[in-house]
A and B are shown apart, each in its own frame.
Chain A
Amino acid sequence: MAAADSPSAALRRDLCSRGIRLAGKMRADVVDLLDAYVEQQGLDASASVAAVEGVPLAAVERWDEQTGTQRLLENLAAYRAFRALLAQMLEEQREQLGEADAGLGRALAAVLLQVSAFAYHLEELLRLESRGIPGEEEEDGPPPPPRLSLFEQKLRGLGVLRELAQWAVRSVRDLRQLAKPSPATGAAPSLAESP
């Protein structure tokens, strides 16, 4: 119990609860954006979209067995990918639509901001556990993918937003899991269990 009352544990709980609120808000906004996106792009809401390259899938096997650090690292990787993809979507949106339908652009920018904020929040959590924060793969990453056709861009945008909505749900669950006190010590689960 003493550990549970330590400042770092309290800070972790606070960060987790704020992260849960952020993810919940993000989820709601992404769902709204998804509706607007489907309508504005003239897509079929029920269209099946192949997995978006570069986005880790929210669905994962043996989720229960993951350590806290694993969860945070996967979340961070996913949201970093989403940040890049949403920025690309925003740029493409400006290119293709110009000043037309500025509302969709604003909504996209708002979600991008939330994703960035959430990624930063995850970094804070990792930093709290004195874990190294993996560097971003911008400079030495793979070369940019070949330019997609406009229809492929639309489908990719749909896939990104759907996956982001899934990830927002998963992040809430992951953060709830992290916020739980560890049954062994009565304190928060150790994030240092990562393999």
Chain B
Amino acid sequence: MWKNSNLRCLLALAILCLRSLTYSQEIASLGDPQNLKCVTRNLHKMLCTWDISSRGRHGQTDFCYTTNDLTTQVCSKTKERRVELPVPERSITVTIKSSGTAFATKEFVIHQKDISFVPDPPHILSLMPDFPTSTLNLKWIDNGSVFPYGLDALWQIQILRKEAMEVVTQVTYYSKLTHENIILSWNWTSDMPLECTSHYVKIRCYINATQFVGPKEWSDWSPAGMIPGKDAEPGGSGVFPLDPVVAVGSDLTFCCVHEEDQRITNMTYGSKSYTMMRLSSRSHAIKVLNASVSNSSGTNVVCRLENGLEGSVVFVGYAPDSPQNLSCETLNFLMIKCTWKPGRPSGLYGERRTKYSLFERTSGKNVSCEVSEMNKDHVCGFPVLPDQKIYDFILGVSNPLGQAQSSLLVDITQRVRPKTPEKLTVTGNNSTSIQLRWFINGSFAEIRLLCQIEITSSHYERKLHNVSMPGRKSSTYSAQLSALHPDTKYQFRVRCSAADHFWRWSDWSRGVEQTTSEAPPARGPDIWRERSPSGESIIVFWKPLSLSETNGKIVSHEVSCHLLETVLEHKIVFEPSSSTEIKLGKSDCVISVVARNHAGSSPPSRITSVELPSDNVTTDQAMAMGNGINISWDSYPNMTCGYIVKWCHSSGSEPCSVDWQKFPSNTTNVVIKSALFKPGVRYNFSLYGCKSMGYQLLKNITGYMKELPPKTAPNFIVEETSSDSILVKWEDIPIDECRGFLKGYLLSFAKGEKDALKPRLSESGNPELKVNNITDLTKKSMKILDLQGKTSYQLELQAYTAGGLSPPNSLYVVTKEDSVGLIIAILIPVAVVVLLGVLASIFCYRKREWIKETFYPEIPNPENSKALQFQRNICEGNKTLKTLEMNPCTPNSVEVVETQPSAPKIEDTEMMSPAEETTVPEDGSDSEMENHVVVSYCPPIIEEEISNPPTDEPGESSQVVYIDIQSMYQPQIKPEEEPEIDIVTTAGYKPQMQLSIRALKIEGHSPVEEDLDKTAGYRPQTNTNAWNMGTPDSPGSVESNNENVSFGSPCSINSRQFLLPPKDDEDSPKPINTGWSFTHFFQNKPND
């Protein structure tokens, strides 16, 4: 009972305590346990921590917990404020009682959602650098054994660099947990060599536990793993990366690590200096972008220090190309030779070069190829394997930057290109056949060989002779060649291939030469004979045999003459003669000719000397074919053994050489061709018919290979001319100059004077050209009719052939005068004049009263006065100034004063000057010059009239009238001129032209006249210098102050007027226009 009561008391107390704890948690009073936090790292256990006030901090804590699964509370005592508990499936109730405080008990209920899941930081198993590749390798354990199977795990890895641990990169790695501890590995390649500075690696994880409902967090970072750079290494120095091989276009970072107390001057890549980046106190770096291919010895990266030099060599190149055109063949069935083209050069040499290997898949055999980098074609040998025909090759290519391959499947028996045949020799030789032997190195026992023999000689076409033979192992092969020409020098060479599956020919062997031996000539020569003009002998001709027929060098010909069985004549004619004469008299025989060489004689050629008589042998013309001469004839049935066309070539002064050609009996048309034929040369052919008895001349033929125009023009003359016709005669052109068969003549004529520069009539295009075509070659003259009398004609004569026209021959002929026409031409005008005279006489007779009344009235009409007529002429300014008639004029002087309307007429007279024309004085001081013309008259001492066309108006003529007007006009004479005046006065007026005329007629010049001239005093006009007026420095210019002086104008010293009109323009004098000049004098002279 006590016991029960005690137990009841304890239970009551506990309940009381729990109540108070619950209460305390709810109240959360000071000094109570608080902020209970639970964190799990493996989803099995969790670590709970709490805070306690300062009063109970040093005491012991009772800790109890219970879960739904537990029937009893689990308690424990702890001095720390943390306890490890299992992770509940749903919730857990925790009671924490601090010691020393009766009421410091608190109860917590922890649900799973309140528990954080934070995995442990990953443990780095290893961190390994690979300096040549700048790659680091990280290994860690995933700790998966503590977690359920299949959870996703994320790993965050951070790379840090330099002393300051700058983050370079951060990556997330994914894995799945397998409830086992797995080692995970991760590689990272740095853009900077790992030697340049220290690198650090940290890792943390996140496990995606989907069943766990509480918050899930990343683990803490693992402790950093470190890869120390060379700058962290005492005494470490150098340029990194060291001697790398990189691809063209890469971006490269180089660093220079040096001692602490050193200083970098600069860093260069090749010859270029780069800006440096500081990595640490001992390390600096440069960055090179897009590196280009380096040279064979690499590109130097140099780091210049204050007292030293560090460097590295970088090789920049290309990864290998795939081999192209891979081809394999065998030359000897011992080795297979594979060739290919390497493609783009890698730019890498030596130990970094591209390496090749040939792998055969069937046999599994691999061969390393030694190839020359400098060759365009690469070659690799592979041994022929026994009992293997099919080869499956893979050509592998690699260099430090990459690799490639190419494959080829080949049946080696179909890829045979035998080695070049050697030791080619000629064995066995006669005139038409030889035997060749050669050797081929190789084992060709399994195939047949096809060998080709090339046969060449200077006289015959190149021939190829194929011969097939079974292959053997390194053996000698032979072939027999026949149908060769005797006495011919041949060149032979051989090449071979596989006979059954042709792949390629071998190279040609070295050539050998061999000359075949001689044989007797193949046939007798082609012969002809001609009887000499005297008929006493026969000349035998033969043609040389062709090269293929001589079979050796012809040394002689044997000519014999048989009559039945009797040899009348036998001659041996040595080369190079091709004819001989046999004296037979008038008899005939059968002529036989045999050609001989060193090997023997040819079969004989025979011909009879009998020439049958011929009747009516005509001469025809052959047709020129351009390259030969076409000869045709009618068929002669009697000619049983064919025809012979014979002709003769003559060149220059040498006697003509006979040539001939034989044709069968059915031939009637042939074209004779010869290299000796020349265009424009006439050849004479004789056609012979062959009968059993002999040969008969059938006809002669002349012909040209090609007709040309006649070389010269036909000569012709004018035989007779009349007023309307010309008779022309011409001669034949010599045959040599015809150069073709003459077809006719062309006679052309047209009016034309003889002129050396005139073109040919045919080329002149003269519309009056007439051409007569004379086709009748027998006609040698022609009369040209319907010509005009007393007219010059040009005649041209040309001959023409089928080849064209000859050059023309020209003549000029003047037809005779037509006398009848002339008479008519004279008589008609005379008759007309007589008729008009008669008609005028009749008219005058009938109108005589009216004429008398009009022209000779009994009371004169003052209007018909001569004097008035004269006056009117002057006043009207008539251009033709008439000389005053002397007889009816009795007064000494007449002054006519014209009224105003007459003034303009005066301006038109020769008195008009340019000054007067432009300026008309208003004061009228010179008015008498304009409207007051004084005409004085005295019987002249000398009067001369000069017909002088003064200006450009040829129809206008002027008369100069010299008048002595001394009595009515006294000019202002300067004192110094007085002596001259006196002389002039004594001499009277001397016309100015007198001296000039005298000067031109100097031969007829009398001394008396000369004296007169000297005393005449005045003669400015006679001074030839003075004629050249208008020059500023001329004497006339000096005297230009005298207003009456018009230089060059003929004038009288007593005259106040110039006798010739003054020049229009002082600045541009034109003597021709002044009315009279020295040049006009000459021009007018012939007209005088």
Contacts and interface: CB of A to CB of B under 8 A. Distances in A.
B1042 to A, nearest CB: 103
A130 interface: no
A44 to B, nearest CB: 8
Contact of B239 (A100, A101, A151): A151
Nearest to B372: A99
A101 B242 contact: no
Interface string B199-239: 00000000000000000000000000000000000000011
Interface in A2-49: 40-44, 47-49
Given A94-B350, A98-B349, A48 B297 contact: no
B313 A154 contact: yes
Contacts of A194: none
A192 interface: no
A50 B307 CA distance: 10
B337 to A, nearest CB: 21
B772 interface: no
Nearest to A152: B311
Nearest to B270: A42
B311 A151 contact: yes
A154 B298 CA distance: 11
B297 A42 contact: yes
Interface in B282-335: 295-302, 308-313
B296 A100 contact: yes
A49, A95, A100 — most chain B CB neighbours (10 Å): A100
A99 B297 CA distance: 12
B131 to A, nearest CB: 13
A154 B349 CA distance: 16
Given A95-B350, A95-B351, A155 B309 contact: yes
Contacts of B300: 41-43, 151, 154
B373 A98 contact: yes
B298 A150 contact: yes
Contacts of B351: 95-96, 98
Contact of B299 (A42, A47, A97, A155): A42
Interface string A124-165: 000000000000000000000000011110110000000000
Nearest to B297: A41
A98 B353 contact: yes
Interface in A61-100: 94-100
A97 B309 contact: no
Contacts of B310: 151
Interface string B338-350: 0000000000011
A98 B238 contact: no
Nearest to B303: A151
B300 to A, nearest CB: 5
B452 to A, nearest CB: 38
A155 B374 contact: no
A42 B308 CA distance: 18
B392 interface: no
A151 B350 contact: no
A25 B374 CA distance: 32
B558 interface: no
B876 interface: no
A150 B350 CA distance: 13
A154 B351 CA distance: 16
A149 to B, nearest CB: 5
B312 A96 contact: no
Contacts of B312: 149-151
Contact of A97 (B239, B271, B296): B296
Nearest to B312: A151
Q: For A41, A50, A96, which residue has the most chain B Cβ atoms within 10 angstroms?
A: A96
B373 A149 contact: no
B243 interface: yes
A101 B295 CA distance: 10
Interface in B348-392: 349-351, 353, 372-374
A176 to B, nearest CB: 36
A36 to B, nearest CB: 12
A129 to B, nearest CB: 43
Contacts of A97: 296-297, 349-350
Contacts of B309: 47-49, 155
B239 to A, nearest CB: 7
B232 to A, nearest CB: 20
Given A150-B313, A155-B311, A100 B349 contact: yes
Contacts of A100: 296, 349-350, 373-374
Contacts of B270: 42
Contacts of A42: 270-271, 295, 297-300
Contacts of A44: 302
Nearest to B371: A99
B238 A149 contact: yes
B624 to A, nearest CB: 73
Nearest to A44: B302
Contact of B350 (A41, A47, A98, A154): A98
Contacts of A96: 297-298, 349-351
Contacts of A43: 300
Contacts of B299: 42
Given A149-B312, A150-B313, A101 B297 contact: yes
A35 to B, nearest CB: 15
A49 B309 CA distance: 8
For A47, A50, A95, A152, the residue with the greatest tally of chain B CB atoms inside 10 Å of its CB is: A152
B134 to A, nearest CB: 16
Nearest to B296: A100
Contacts of B353: 98
B429 to A, nearest CB: 51
Interface in A49-64: 49-50
Contacts of B349: 96-100
Contact of B243 (A41, A94, A150): A150
A100 B373 CA distance: 8
B448 to A, nearest CB: 42
Nearest to B298: A150
**Of listed B271, B298, B312, B372, residue having the most chain A CB within 10 A:** B298
A42 B349 CA distance: 16
Nearest to B268: A44
B275 to A, nearest CB: 20
B347 to A, nearest CB: 10
A98 to B, nearest CB: 4
Nearest to A37: B297
A145 to B, nearest CB: 16
A70 B301 CA distance: 42
Contacts of B374: 99-100
B252 to A, nearest CB: 15
A114 B849 CA distance: 155
Nearest to A102: B374
Nearest to B351: A95
Contacts of A98: 349-351, 353, 373
Nearest to A42: B300
A176 B239 CA distance: 46
A155 B311 CA distance: 9
A151 B309 CA distance: 10
A40 B300 CA distance: 11
A50 B296 CA distance: 25
A85 B239 CA distance: 25
A12 B195 CA distance: 58
Nearest to B295: A42
CB-CB nearest 5 A-B residue pairs: A151-B311, A100-B296, A150-B313, A96-B350, A100-B349
Given A96-B350, A151-B312, 14 more contacts: A49-B309, A94-B350, A96-B297, A99-B349, A99-B374, A101-B297, A149-B242, A149-B243, A150-B243, A151-B239, A151-B243, A151-B313, A154-B313, A155-B309
Interface of A: 40-44, 47-50, 94-101, 149-152, 154-155
19 contacts: A40-B297, A41-B300, A42-B271, A42-B295, A43-B300, A44-B302, A48-B309, A50-B308, A96-B349, A97-B296, A99-B372, A149-B313, A150-B243, A150-B312, A151-B311, A151-B312, A152-B311, A154-B313, A155-B309
